């Protein structure tokens, strides 16, 4: 059973109907307002987000989500009774963790009504016990000491005041409760990922203008729409993190037992060009063979990261940061 509640009173809200295609005028307005940009961008992306990021709720992503959790919290006693996902998107992290046995009951929250809608739909389709609220991460609309676990994936870098948000996370956690935030971009990793993405986009959209490769070019209006989305993405991605600095922010917010881990170096160097290429060409041109190459290549690069590069490369060079901490008893 899933329910949607509003930010202030916790009462049901009308079914959100976000605009799936932001206009140039909307984009220009959002460039001056970070939180407006968050809502506009994520409402815009909500219905296609799972496809864009190859998100699923099967064994592949269950194992991925659980791996991110276990990177910093492998020894905790499971399951947690009640968990919340902050900035849930389509529910990828929490719903897959619930399927792996990390938590019994879930609450999904996001600033975007469109994302909450999709996350609740995904929870219902999976038969998971979840409710949802539209929520600002700097003012979480739940009572003190509500949750045993708070999780998030690729959310902290969207929040203007990360330390205030973590104070709120600690407030809604029960004493001894834990938070786990994964998928946060490192400062160095974000630099090389964006450089490779821009280069891939430029090469793909220009090479496909000519000769037999014209059939591999998306219609110009779709490319223009992607460019507007990319402009908003540059606004909503506010922070990058050095692992030690992120741990320091968590401690300043009041967290105990803080630790971090990093992951994906070679995997990120493959993954970002692959995702950018997929966004630039018609989806019907890419079949199961491409999907096998992309996923298989990512797995091989992940093996290289974990078994070779992790032993010789400093953690701050890896793309993703995972952080955990607890609320003092």
Concatenated DSSP letters of 81-113: EEEEEET-TTTHHHHHHHHTTSEEEEEEEES-H
pLDDT score recorded for residue 131: 98
Residue 150 has pLDDT above 60, yes or no: yes
Tokens of 35: 């939180």
What mean pLDDT is predicted for residues 284-289?
A: 90
Question: Picking from 18-27, 103-112, 138-147, 226-235, which range would have the lowest pLDDT averaged per residue?
Answer: 18-27
pLDDT at 37 over 80: yes
Banded model confidence at residue 45, pLDDT cuts 50, 70, 90: confident
pLDDT in tens, 162-183: 999 999 999 999 999 999 999 9
Average pLDDT over residues 152-165: 97
**How confident is the model at residue 146, as a pLDDT?**
98
Q: What is the pLDDT of residue 22?
A: 64
- Confidence at 11, pLDDT banded by 50, 70, 90: very low
Q: Is 170 exposed, middle or buried (0-12, 13-18, 19+ CB in 10 A)?
A: buried
Under 8 Å between Cβ of 318 and 263: yes
What's the maximum distance between 2 C-alpha atoms anywhere in the chain?
67
Query: How far is residue 301's CA from residue 303's CA, in Å, rounded to a whole number?
Result: 5
Burial class (CB in 10 A: 0-12, 13-18, 19+), 160: middle
Model confidence at 289: pLDDT above 90: yes
Look at 42-46, 228-232, 249-253, 290-294 and tell me which has the smallest mean pLDDT: 228-232
pLDDT of residue 267: 97
The pLDDT of residue 31 is above 70 = yes
CA distance 203 to 307: 32
82-128 pLDDT per residue, tens: 999 999 999 999 999 999 999 999 999 999 999 999 999 999 999 99
What residue ranges define each of the domains in the chain, with the CATH number in brackets?
2-326 (3.40.50.150)
Residue 29: pLDDT band with limits 50, 70, 90: confident
Q: Over 70: is that where the pLDDT of 9 sits?
A: no
**Interval 264-274 mean pLDDT:** 96
Share of the chain above pLDDT 70, in %: 93
Check whether 17 has a pLDDT greater than 60: no
Of 124-128, 279-283, 288-292, which one has max mean pLDDT? Answer: 124-128
Identify the pLDDT of residue 18: 43
Average pLDDT, whole number, for the chain?
91
pLDDT score, position 269:
96
Query: Are the CB atoms for 89 and 49 separated by under 8 Å?
Result: yes
């Amino acid at each position: 059973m899933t329910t949607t509640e509003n930010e202030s009173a916790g009462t049901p809200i009308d079914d959100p109907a976000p605009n799936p295609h932001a206009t140039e005028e909307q984009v220009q307005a959002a460039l001056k307002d970070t939180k407006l940009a968050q809502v506009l961008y994520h409402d815009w992306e909500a219905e296609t987000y799972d496809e864009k990021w190859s998100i699923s709720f099967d064994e592949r992503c269950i194992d991925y989500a659980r791996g991110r959790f276990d990177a910093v919290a492998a020894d905790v006693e499971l399951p947690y009774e009640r968990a919340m996902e902050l900035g849930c998107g389509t529910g990828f992290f929490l719903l897959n963790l619930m399927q792996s046995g990390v938590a019994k009951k879930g609450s999904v929250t996001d600033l975007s009504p469109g994302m909450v809608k999709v996350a609740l739909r995904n929870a219902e389709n999976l038969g998971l016990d979840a409710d949802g609220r539209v929520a600002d991460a700097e003012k979480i609309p739940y009572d003190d000491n509500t949750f045993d676990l708070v999780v998030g994936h690729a959310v902290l870098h969207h929040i203007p005041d990360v330390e205030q948000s973590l104070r709120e996370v600690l407030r809604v956690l029960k004493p001894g409760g834990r938070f786990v935030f994964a998928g946060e971009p490192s400062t160095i990793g974000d630099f090389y990922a964006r450089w490779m993405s821009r280069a891939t986009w430029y090469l793909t959209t220009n090479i496909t203008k000519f000769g037999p490769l014209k059939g591999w070019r998306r219609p110009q209006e779709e490319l223009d729409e992607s460019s507007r989305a990319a402009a908003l993405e540059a606004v909503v991605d506010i922070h990058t993190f050095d692992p030690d600095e992120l741990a320091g922010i968590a401690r300043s917010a009041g967290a105990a037992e803080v630790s971090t881990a990093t992951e994906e170096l070679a995997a990120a160097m493959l993954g970002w060009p692959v995702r950018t290429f997929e966004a630039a060409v018609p989806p019907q041109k890419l079949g199961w063979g491409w999907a096998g190459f992309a996923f298989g290549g990512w797995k091989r690069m992940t093996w290289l990261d974990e078994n070779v590069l992790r032993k010789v490369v400093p953690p701050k060079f890896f793309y993703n940061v995972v952080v955990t901490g607890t609320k003092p008893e």
